[in-house]
């Protein structure tokens, strides 16, 4: 990295240049627009692979039929019964304890009458999805794949039923079952190259998404959503597949399904992690904040998934491994949570954005962002963890440029609206990374990013800068259609195992990010600069 500006004693500010991304026209339509940059050339290569998962013709016809809100039950039943094996699977599943019907069901037509269109469509597509995987990737971890998919699907459906989203239960099930279809596509198309990324990520899907974007400038969520779009799946499935790892960024009405899918994956984590306390804590907090679901209800969902997963694995003929003992896991997780709380353990400190402490601290009344007090607490916690564990912590300092001119030219109301729009973008960019967005000055924001490194923070800031540039060209406060003259200068400072020597305390970390912002301004503005510590020769 090239140096910019004068070199401070403890380090220097580096210009971080990221590779340009191909923005070919293949990324238009629906979910994919110019605000979602990715490697379009690689995406096209993956989608052109002849070994991709495929849906049987009957499934595609079911999708086409059910896209019509006035489809007749008889027409759908006749279509499904053309595939006798599929019809038999649906009837067998409808008669299982999972649906708990009081009287037996003998046909697809009767199933449609008893359960409605949603569950039958979901089963038809679910069984078709499983059969479409036959013969793919013999070395792929199918047990882990189907375990995550089925556990998440059962949980998402159950959570929908207890959270006021009962109408979305079937779509949530199917979206969760399909959420990682892009992993299969990337594995089939890229082979060992993608297998290496899977190995490096272990079972951590948050790490997987980061490594995919760093290595390929595209993620399995992008590929999966495009594959679902190719199959003409409805947007209420396409959008949750794309945003299942960052549900708060999901647009439109389908955001509720994306949240349910995300919560479903946390139930999976509780049932599969060696130390389930962290996953259970996240489940409690996010279920409450996203859907108003209480902790005891979450426990019941975990138990329900453990029971029904055995039967549904058999009915779908997929191997999800040994049954998880939900009761034992909940007891163990409870013990770990009590122990962490009593010790003030580091793991409790990491998820700053979700911590109840921050909900009790004052927030900025205009934008809803956290305030200076929350920022100080979050930095202290993140710095403490990074100082004693093999983890990183990043502080981002963002100065909004042109705001005063905007207020003078168009008035206070327009200036306030621009700030609120900017905070929405900040949340969309940084919340999926676990960041806490704080307003610390009139036109200054800071973001605390526990367990996030320099490069990932810079990448997020570049995305923010590009998104703001595109948005400000469209925001026009009057008929003149003038572009709003706002941009951002951002500075990044990171403490990690290789740079601990450079930071005595959290104040030095915050100061480094502020100095990086000053260098960004001196470089002409509208750019990102990162503080890179260098030991004196």
What pLDDT digit, counting tens, does each position of 72-85 carry?
888 999 999 998 99
> How high is the pLDDT of residue 354?
42
> Would you give the DSSP letter of residue 181?
H
Query: Which of the pair, 335 or 115, is modelled with greater confidence?
Result: 115
Predicted confidence (pLDDT) per residue in 66-125, tens digit: 888 788 888 999 999 998 999 999 999 999 888 888 889 989 999 888 888 889 989 999
Cα gap 231→393, rounded to integer Å: 41
Would you state the structure tokens that stand for residue 329, as one six-digit string?
A: 């896991």
- The arrangement of strands across the sheet holding 487-495 comes to 2-3, 11-15, 528-533, 487-495, 393-401, 444-450, 436-441
For the chain, domain boundaries: 31-53+136-333, 350-530
- 166: pLDDT strictly greater than 70: yes
Cα gap 510→495, rounded to integer Å: 11
Predicted confidence (pLDDT) per residue in 282-309, tens digit: 898 889 888 989 888 999 999 999 999 9
Indicate whether this model's pTM tops 0.85: no
> How high is the pLDDT of residue 481?
53
* Highest mean pLDDT: which range of 148-162, 348-362, 465-479, 482-496: 148-162
> How high is the pLDDT of residue 312?
93
What angle (nearest 5°) sits at the alpha carbon of residue 23, between those of residues 466 and 470?
25
Name the pLDDT band for 156 (thresholds 50, 70, 90).
very high
CATH code, 350-530? 3.30.70.270
Q: What is the DSSP string of 110-170?
A: HHHHHH-HHHHHHHHHHHHHHHTTTT--TTS-HHHHHHHHHHHHHHHHHHHHTTT-GGGHH
Q: What mean pLDDT do residues 412-433 have?
A: 83
Handedness of CA 242, 229, 128, 126 (dihedral sign): positive
Choose among 158, 15, 68: nearest CA to 490: 15
Burial class of residue 296 in the structure, from the number of CB atoms within 10 Å of its CB (0-12 exposed, 13-18 middle, 19+ buried): exposed
Whether 169 and 118 have beta carbons less than 8 Å apart is answered as yes
Would you state the structure tokens that stand for residue 483, as one six-digit string?
A: 């572009």
> How high is the pLDDT of residue 254?
85
Whether 248 and 431 have beta carbons less than 8 Å apart is answered as yes
> How high is the pLDDT of residue 338?
56
Cα gap 421→446, rounded to integer Å: 16
Q: How many helices (H) and strands (E) does the chain have?
A: 24, 7
Q: What mean pLDDT do residues 178-188 have?
A: 95
Percent of the chain at pLDDT above 70? 85
Predicted confidence (pLDDT) per residue in 204-263, tens digit: 887 888 888 888 888 999 999 999 999 989 899 999 999 998 888 888 778 899 999 999
- 404: pLDDT strictly greater than 80: yes
Whether 391 and 401 have beta carbons less than 8 Å apart is answered as no
What angle (nearest 5°) sits at the alpha carbon of residue 235, between those of residues 187 and 155?
70
- 147: pLDDT strictly greater than 90: yes
Q: What is the mean pLDDT of the chain?
A: 82
- 31: pLDDT strictly greater than 70: no
> How high is the pLDDT of residue 473?
61
Q: Which CATH number fits domain 31-53+136-333: 1.20.140.10, 3.20.20.80, 1.10.3210.10, 3.30.1390.10?
A: 1.10.3210.10
Q: What mean pLDDT do residues 481-485 have?
A: 61
């Amino acid at each position: 990295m090239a140096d910019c500006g004068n070199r401070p004693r403890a380090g220097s500010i580096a210009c971080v240049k990221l590779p340009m991304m191909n923005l070919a026209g293949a990324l238009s339509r629906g979910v994919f627009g110019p605000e979602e940059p990715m490697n379009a050339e690689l995406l096209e290569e993956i989608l052109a692979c002849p070994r991709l998962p495929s849906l049987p013709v009957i499934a595609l016809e079911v999708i086409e039929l059910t896209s019509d809100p006035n489809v007749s039950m008889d027409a759908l039943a006749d279509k499904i019964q053309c595939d006798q094996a599929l019809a038999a699977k649906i009837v067998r599943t409808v008669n299982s304890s999972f649906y708990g019907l009081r009287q037996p069901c003998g046909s697809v037509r009767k199933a449609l009458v008893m359960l409605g269109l949603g569950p039958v469509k979901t089963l038809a597509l679910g069984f078709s999805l499983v059969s479409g995987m036959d013969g793919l990737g013999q070395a792929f971890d199918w047990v882990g794949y189907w375990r995550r998919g089925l556990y998440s699907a059962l949980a998402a459906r159950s959570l929908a039923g207890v959270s006021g989203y009962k109408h979305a239960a079937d779509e949530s099930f199917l979206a969760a079952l399909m959420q990682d279809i892009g992993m299969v596509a990337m594995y089939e198309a890229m082979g060992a190259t993608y297998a290496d990324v899977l190995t490096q990520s272990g079972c951590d899907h948050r790490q997987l998404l980061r490594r995919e974007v760093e290595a390929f400038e595209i993620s399995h969520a992008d590929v999966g959503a495009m594959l679902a779009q190719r199959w003409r799946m409805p947007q209420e499935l396409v959008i949750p597949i794309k945003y299942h790892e960052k549900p708060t960024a999901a647009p439109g009405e389908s955001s509720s399904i994306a949240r349910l899918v995300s919560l479903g994956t946390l139930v999976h984590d509780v049932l599969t992690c060696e130390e389930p306390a962290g996953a259970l804590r996240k489940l409690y907090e996010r279920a409450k904040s996203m859907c108003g679901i209480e902790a005891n209800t979450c426990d019941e969902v975990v138990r329900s998934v453990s029971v029904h997963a055995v039967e549904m694995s058999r009915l779908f003929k997929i191997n999800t491994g040994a049954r998880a003992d939900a009761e034992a896991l909940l007891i163990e997780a409870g013990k770990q949570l009590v122990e962490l709380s009593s010790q003030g353990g580091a793991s409790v400190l990491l998820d700053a954005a979700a911590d109840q402490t921050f909900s009790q601290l004052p927030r900025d009344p205009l934008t809803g962002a956290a305030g200076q007090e929350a920022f100080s607490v979050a930095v202290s916690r993140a710095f403490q963890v990074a100082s004693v564990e093999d983890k990183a912590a990043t502080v981002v300092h963002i100065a909004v440029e042109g705001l005063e001119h905007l207020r003078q030219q168009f008035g206070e109301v327009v200036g306030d609206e621009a700030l609120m729009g900017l905070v929405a973008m900040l949340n969309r960019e940084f919340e999926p990374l676990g960041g806490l967005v704080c307003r610390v000055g009139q036109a200054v924001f800071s973001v605390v990013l526990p367990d996030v490194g320099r490069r990932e923070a810079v990448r997020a800031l570049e995305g923010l800068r590009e998104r703001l540039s595109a948005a400000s060209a469209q925001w026009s406060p009057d008929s003149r259609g003038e572009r709003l003259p706002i941009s951002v200068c951002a500075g990044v400072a990171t403490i990690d195992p290789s740079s601990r020597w450079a930071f005595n305390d959290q104040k030095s970390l915050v100061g480094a990010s502020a100095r990086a912002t000053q260098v960004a301004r001196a470089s002409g503005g509208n750019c990102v600069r990162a503080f890179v510590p260098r030991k004196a020769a």
